[in-house]
Amino acid sequence: MLLYGPAGTGKSLIIGAVTQQIVDLCQSKGERFGVVNINCQPINTLDQAVFELVQTVANDVDAEVGVPETGVSTKRKYRRLYELINEHYDSVIFILDEIDLLVGRRTNEEPAYSKLLYQLSRASNTNEIEGQVSVAALTNDPKFMEDIDGRAESSFNPRDVYFPDYDANQLRQILENRRDAFRPNALTDDVLPLVSAFAAQSHGDARKAIDLFRGAGDLADERDDEKVREEHVRESQEEIDKDRSLKLIEGLTTQKKISLYATASVAYLSNLSGSSVPSPVGFKVYQWVTDEIDADQMTRETYVKYVKELSTYGLISTARKSRGRGGGMYMEFTFTGEPEAMMNRIVDDTRLGAIADQEDILQSVVNAQLREFHK
Ligand SMILES: Nc1ncnc2c1ncn2[C@@H]1O[C@H](COP(=O)(O)OP(=O)(O)OP(=O)(O)O)[C@@H](O)[C@H]1O
Ligand SMILES: [Mg+2]
């Protein structure tokens, strides 16, 4: 089987629940059904994956692992895996969660997951495993099968099970079952529908819906409010949104961080212009910052390009402005989020940390440049 769909749509949960039912059913008939469930996310190579499978089975049946983690061939590990399975299970399902992350180290070769799928799904045909073998691969990636080698595809040849985003009603049912996380009567009537609506609107991810639900409760708790109300949900959602855009900043290149930092400092430290930043002023401050931390200096065009790019992330909005007769055009940047929070996130970066102590000087640079610009 191939279970695929976006994050938080219940793939891992459902496969676990369904296989547990099969285990129970088989047990009542004296059959030994093995569930070998691994998450591929922390695993780097095919060899490690096979070892992880051996370990999981050994653990489940209380047997010796029987092979060392390193120093023996992958083939030996496969052999030990089959041996353990034949000895302890009548039939088996391999669950390979987040399988698309098992790519292996060698980039030009068939990916590790493709090799693993090939081996496991034909193990019953080749009599390496005596009983029935099923393989369930779980992934977010809808194009996952495109990178599977032809041989692997024909032996794995899965039935697709698609997990779509949850809608508001489904999310509401899921959250209903978690009411017991709250004190009796702590939830006002609008909380559950609102959490479900927010979550359905923005992602359909049950994990995030549960986080929002809990977040609203935590907020009420922090404030010693007896009840969780609509406002707690709204504020909790705002926190989550804010956090998301700040996280995004961490992934920017140093040059983009400097550009954003300089621009944000104009919005935050200026005594004059509120929160909008004319690009010529932002660029002057950018030049000052690059000098201070001894970084490369890009052209004004590049600076503007970087900052405009940030508008696609929703951190800022941009507008073209005219300086009036003969004055030419410039861009004006307006922050949607809090510039101060962005600056703080940026100076977490070691390279830019040095600038954090110089806020006074930075402020005078900002205001001098603004005065110059508005002259
Ligand atoms: N139908 C459901 N009923 C109750 N809880 C659910 C349901 N679907 C998902 N959840 C809960 O939502 C969270 C995310 O579900 P799960 O981990 O199964 O998602 P997933 O599809 O495997 O996501 P990912 O692709 O990120 O691995 C879990 O806490 C799970 O218990
Ligand atoms: Mg999962």
CATH of the domain at 230: 1.10.8.60
The secondary structure of 326-358 as a DSSP string is T--EEEEEEESS-HHHHHHHHTTSHHHHGGGGG
Compute CA distances 260 → 96, 188, 264, 307, whole Å: 41, 41, 6, 6
Tell whether ligand 1 has an atom less than 6 A from the beta carbon of residue 11. Answer: yes
Tell whether ligand 1 has an atom less than 6 A from the beta carbon of residue 264. Answer: no
The protein residue whose alpha carbon is closest to atom 26 in ligand 1 is 7
pLDDT at 352: 85
Helix axes 191-202, 230-250, angle to 10 degrees: 30
* pLDDT confidence tier of residue 109, bands split at 50, 70 and 90: confident
The beta strand positions in the chain, using DSSP E, are: 2-4, 33-39, 91-97, 132-139, 160-162, 276-278, 316-322, 329-335
**Ligand at shortest distance from the CA of 18:** 1
Tell whether ligand 1 has an atom less than 6 A from the beta carbon of residue 10. Answer: yes
* Through-space distance between the first and last CA atoms of the chain, rounded to whole angstroms: 69
Q: Which residues are annotated as a binding site for ATP?
A: 9-13, 166, 178
Whether residue 219 sits in one domain with residue 326? no
Does the pLDDT at position 273 exceed 60?
A: no
- Centre of ligand 1 from the C-alpha of residue 209, in Å: 10
pLDDT tens for 280-289 read: 999 999 999 9
The protein residue whose alpha carbon is closest to atom 29 in ligand 1 is 207
- Centre of ligand 2 from the C-alpha of residue 97, in Å: 6
pLDDT tens for 276-327 read: 899 999 999 999 999 999 999 999 999 999 999 888 777 888 898 888 777 7
* pLDDT confidence tier of residue 214, bands split at 50, 70 and 90: very high
Query: Which residues, including other chains, have CB under 8 Å from residue 191's CB and lie 6 or more apart?
Result: 213, 216, 228, 229, 230, 232, 233
In degrees and rounded to multiples of 5, residue 95 shows phi and psi of -110, 115
Lowest pLDDT segment from 80-89, 226-235, 307-316, 359-368: 307-316
* Domain end among 245, 269, 300: 245
Residue 360 one-letter amino acid = D
Q: How many domains does the chain have?
A: 3
Burial of 265 (0-12, 13-18, 19+ CB in 10 A): buried
Task: Enter the tokens of residue 150.
Answer: 């032809």
pLDDT at 290: 95
Q: In what order do the strands lie in the sheet with 33-39?
A: 33-39, 91-97, 132-139, 2-4, 160-162
Whether residue 64 sits in one domain with residue 174? no
CB atoms < 10 A from the CB of 325, how many?
Answer: 5
Whether residue 152 sits in one domain with residue 18? yes
| Nearest Cα residue to 260 out of 240, 238, 285 | 285
Whether residue 9 sits in one domain with residue 109? yes
Residue 263 one-letter amino acid = T
- Centre of ligand 2 from the C-alpha of residue 280, in Å: 47
pLDDT at 241: 80
Average pLDDT, the chain: 92
Whether residue 200 sits in one domain with residue 122? no
Whether residue 297 sits in one domain with residue 258? yes
Whether residue 154 sits in one domain with residue 214? no
* Domain end among 121, 136, 162: 162
CB contact at 8 A, 13 and 147: no
Q: Tokens 């009983």 — which residue? A: 131
The protein residue whose alpha carbon is closest to atom 4 in ligand 1 is 174
Q: What is the CATH number of the domain that holds 267?
A: 1.10.10.10
Whether residue 232 sits in one domain with residue 255? no
Q: What percent of the chain has pLDDT over 70?
A: 99
Compute CA distances 253 → 250, 293, 310, 318, whole Å: 8, 15, 12, 21
pLDDT at 61: 97
Cα torsion for 173, 177, 178, 179, to the nearest 10°? Answer: 90
CB atoms < 10 A from the CB of 342, how many?
Answer: 25
Whether residue 152 sits in one domain with residue 14? yes
Tell whether ligand 1 has an atom less than 6 A from the beta carbon of residue 101. Answer: no
Give the atom of ligand 1 at the shortest distance from the alpha carbon of 163: 21
Average pLDDT over residues 86-96: 98
CB contact at 8 A, 98 and 40: yes
Whether residue 8 sits in one domain with residue 154? yes
| Nearest Cα residue to 283 out of 319, 255, 249 | 255
* Domain end among 162, 197, 227: 162
Whether residue 41 sits in one domain with residue 133? yes
The secondary structure of 49-84 as a DSSP string is HHHHHHHHHHHHHT----S-SSSS-HHHHHHHHHHH
pLDDT at 107: 67
Burial of 150 (0-12, 13-18, 19+ CB in 10 A): exposed
- Centre of ligand 2 from the C-alpha of residue 144, in Å: 15
Whether residue 355 sits in one domain with residue 340? yes
pLDDT tens for 326-349 read: 778 899 999 887 898 889 889 877
pLDDT at 350: 73
Which domain covers residue 312, as residue numbers? Answer: 251-374
Q: What is the CATH number of the domain that holds 77?
A: 3.40.50.300
Give kind and range of the element (H or E) at residue 151.
helix 150-156
Give the atom of ligand 1 at the shortest distance from the alpha carbon of 140: 25
